[in-house]
Amino acid sequence: MVSAFLKPLLAILLTVAITGLIVWLYFETKLSKILFTTEFSLEDVNAYNNQSTTANSSKFAVALFGLDARHEGESSRSDTIMILLIDHSMQKIKLASIMRDLYVDVPGYGKRKINSAYELGGPKLALSTLNTNFELALTKYVTVDFRGFEKIIDAVGGVEIDVKDYEVEHININMREVRNLIGGDVPEVKYPGLQRLNGRQALAYARIRYVGNGDYERVQRQQRVFEKVFEKVKNASLGTKLRIIDMVLPYIETNLTRNEIVSLATKNYSKYTLEHTRLPVSGSYREGYTIIDGIKQWIFIADLEKNKQALHEFLER
């Protein structure tokens, strides 16, 4: 009787152990493609240690930076700045986009555009700038450049976007610029309307700046693309998720640990909802010009106290 019971039990345990080993080996092999950087302490990045953005058992926060690097390895401004909060207890993902021309204090450099912090001091200074101005506790970050953004979109099979008539020409202009920088010949967008954009086309769409409502609409485009990617990933099969991971990891720089990445990648997000906001919030800023490094630059002059409060309310509700 004991032997008859133990045999199937041992077989099940052995199967589970082998499966776990295979999954572990898979992720160890794939994660070796990521550029891992040093973890930051709260002190390293001027973080507040009593805020909801400190990682705990149910919430995990990370800053996302999209670089406008023209050449691989060069110092670059973070033209996309987002704060991503995953609330597992509420099954919510919250995304706050910070507009690149927001005029803030960059520690050690004085008042500047917020997107210059990454160029001046990499992710450490970029995190420190976010924490200092908004009283956050961010210590984790993920950075992607042109190539990484493009690969992410291609990995999910493209995204469905309703392209406006005035956006078509600028998508193609941006595509030609990216082609000249990193190569690759991708068909141009020929008409407006709902259509599936591949990685290069979606990248060009998200970078449109000089038509419509300027940078305001640019942020909306970026959030729209993120939302489309999220909807695809959360409903994807395990095999599809593994393929996406395989394609995207070589284009990521992060100080997330291997265990954190595996934990985030293997969770079931099918019932999670996505909420997003933009800083500065409406009615809290004015547009203007100032001189930075001897150059006249266009900026957002914001009521930072009002925006700090709005951000915390968004993240904590």
Mean pLDDT of the chain: 85
Task: Among 158-172, 224-238, 273-287, 299-313, name the one with the lowest average pLDDT.
Answer: 224-238
Task: Among 26-35, 109-118, 155-164, 193-202, name the one with the lowest average pLDDT.
Answer: 26-35
Residues 6+ apart with CB under 8 A from 131: 45, 46, 47, 48, 137, 138
Distance CA 153, CA 199 (A): 5
More confident residue, 124 or 14: 124
pLDDT at residue 241 is higher than 80: no
Radius of gyration of the chain (CA): 21
Q: What is the mean pLDDT of residues 281-296?
A: 93
| Burial (CB count <10 Å: 0-12, 13-18, 19+), residue 162 | exposed
Q: Which of 99, 116, 98 is nearest to 107 (CA)?
A: 116
Distance CA 127, CA 65 (A): 10
More confident residue, 145 or 22: 145
Torsion angle of C-alpha atoms 287, 291, 295, 297, degrees rounded to 10? -10
Structure token pair of residue 187: 């068909």
User: Across-strand partners of 279?
Assistant: 98
Report H helices in the chain: 2-31, 116-134, 146-155, 165-182, 199-206, 214-234, 238-248, 258-265, 304-316
22-67 pLDDT tens trace: 455 555 566 667 788 989 999 999 998 765 454 456 899 999 999 8
The helices-and-strands tally (H runs, E runs) of the chain is 9, 13
More confident residue, 146 or 289: 289
| Count of C-beta atoms within a 10 Å radius of residue 315 | 21
209-226 pLDDT tens trace: 888 777 888 899 999 999
pLDDT at residue 236 is higher than 50: yes
Beta-strand relationship, 285-292 and 295-302:
antiparallel
pLDDT at residue 114 is higher than 60: yes
More confident residue, 117 or 13: 117
User: Of all residues in the chain, what percent carry a pLDDT higher than 90?
Assistant: 57
The confidence band for 263, taking pLDDT boundaries of 50, 70 and 90, is: confident
Amino acid at 43: E
pLDDT at residue 204 is higher than 90: yes
Q: What is the pLDDT of residue 15?
A: 47
DSSP SS3 for 226: helix
Q: What is the pLDDT of residue 272?
A: 94
User: Of all residues in the chain, what percent carry a pLDDT higher than 70?
Assistant: 85
11-29 pLDDT tens trace: 555 544 544 444 555 555 6
Q: What is the mean pLDDT of residues 112-122?
A: 95
| The model's pTM | 0.86
User: Across-strand partners of 302?
Assistant: 285
